[in-house]
Structure 1
């Protein structure tokens, strides 16, 4: 039986994910589900016939995207015995229907990541937990790993760099709009999509996705760039966790050398970089991964699960806050 997409109520591993009191999740098909006390989230568990859970992944999406963009990836990993969760970040996906969480808030994003990791730890106390993020999500995961290394057993950060092609032109437009009206929404999504992929089918699916966010304010874009500019500092702060940096060699949105620079900044000696030769900007989201990528990632997780899995059983989460 193929792995199926589940909500946060799972018979094998129930996880009470934290979040706003009435976070509404709207699926790509237009169906609306409201989970009181839970953030907009998705999860994929191994089904009958699949290997038992050997590790857990928490996935963080990129700018303008949402947790459901990980659905094909989550199913693929669940089929290999890796329980996979994905949550929306503040200002994106179904958080835009949650009052008070409609705008980008990186402190809030990090807080959600910490609390979600704690919930997963409680549900899977003997399993190693890995944090995976892509693009903006790769940067959020990088920051979280530096600030709360006790919550994870390893980090997979895909294209976390903030060094973009055509960055000067975009920065000028944002600066002018910030001076004029920093709260007015700017249509930046289509330009991002067109740089992120040459695939017309993916472009149309991305632009027409009802959960994808195409417009952000100048204020939010300035916050985004400020957050991304801190990546090198936080990379240096990761001292003893295993890290896998991934990037696409055909990426025309984020400069590949930026990911290499972040890799070089990592203080941990257990680090690996994986340039995916035929990949564009997205590697794990929107079904852009290849069998080779899944095989390589699964092997990396397995190789870092033996020792960390033993240590995970001894972890106790006592801090109710961050």
Structure 2
């Protein structure tokens, strides 16, 4: 397993902890944006595969998540999370000038990554969206319609067909196991609408991976968002039977292999 180190910077709303897995002779930079309630430490196996493929990998724990400061899972404006992510990308581009950057976002991280691509398209060579919160998310609309958000945590069985994934999630002290916060839901809703209004990422190559049996962020709701966001170069991979966390699914090697193949294609494009 590739080793990593942590570093800290002043984010928009307090200290943000970031992590880097450095390759000896990197060909590209892969930036990871994790999902709601979790943290970047859950992506060590993904980072390891990317490092072996020739990437230096980095990313933050978003504000209010993991080891970063802030009230737990409170996000009042996704643009602020995008700004923190931009600090990480700029740091990597300074340390490794001239290397192409591929941004990989899962779930809420897919929302963050999509918005980043709209705002900073010229900095990216490719975009990977895994089970992204885009388009239409009926669970979000249903929660916002309630007078009071119920204290119902995410069901770990919806993450993967591998029971060990759900068990590790439940036992992880850095994962948030409490209820959603209304301000965060409102911020996600506002960003979904903002992305739809902003439109396409143009010529930027996009890889969309999604579990067919994703009950947290259902496939067809995200498809509407992908269609609004996509440009001329979209690769779609839908995995039969897979649930929400395709990087932690029983066919995770296939999914990660698809990301590596996408990176190879992006890197082979003329500069």
TM-score of the aligned structures, taking structure 1 as reference length: 0.74
- Runs of at least 5 residues in structure 2 that lack an aligned partner in the other structure: none
**Partner residue, 1:82:** 55
Q: C-alpha displacement at 1:149, in angstroms?
A: 0.9
Does the 8 A contact of 1:129 with 1:153 survive in 2? yes
Matched position secondary structure for 1:39? strand
Question: C-alpha separation between the residues in 2 aligned to 1:130 and 1:256?
Answer: 23
1:298 to 226, 237, 260: 260
1:130 to 91, 99, 102: 102
Structure 1 pair 169/205, CA: closer, same or farther in 2 (3 Å)? Answer: same
**Partner residue, 1:53:** 26
Aligned-pair Cα RMSD in Å: 2.7
Matched position secondary structure for 1:108? helix
Matched, 1:243 2:206: yes
Question: C-alpha separation between the residues in 1 aligned to 2:103 and 2:253?
Answer: 20
Matched, 1:43 2:35: no
Structure 1 pair 153/18, CA: closer, same or farther in 2 (3 Å)? Answer: farther
Question: C-alpha separation between the residues in 1 aligned to 2:17 and 2:208?
Answer: 26
Aligned length: 268
Q: C-alpha displacement at 1:169, in angstroms?
A: 4.7
Q: C-alpha displacement at 1:287, in angstroms?
A: 7.0
**Partner residue, 1:318:** none
Q: C-alpha displacement at 1:44, in angstroms?
A: 1.7
1:146 to 110, 118, 128: 118
Structure 1 pair 289/197, CA: closer, same or farther in 2 (3 Å)? Answer: closer
Question: C-alpha separation between the residues in 1 aligned to 2:12 and 2:207?
Answer: 35
- Runs of at least 5 residues in structure 1 that lack an aligned partner in the other structure: 9-16, 24-37, 179-185, 311-322
Question: Which structure has the greater CA radius of gyration?
Answer: 1
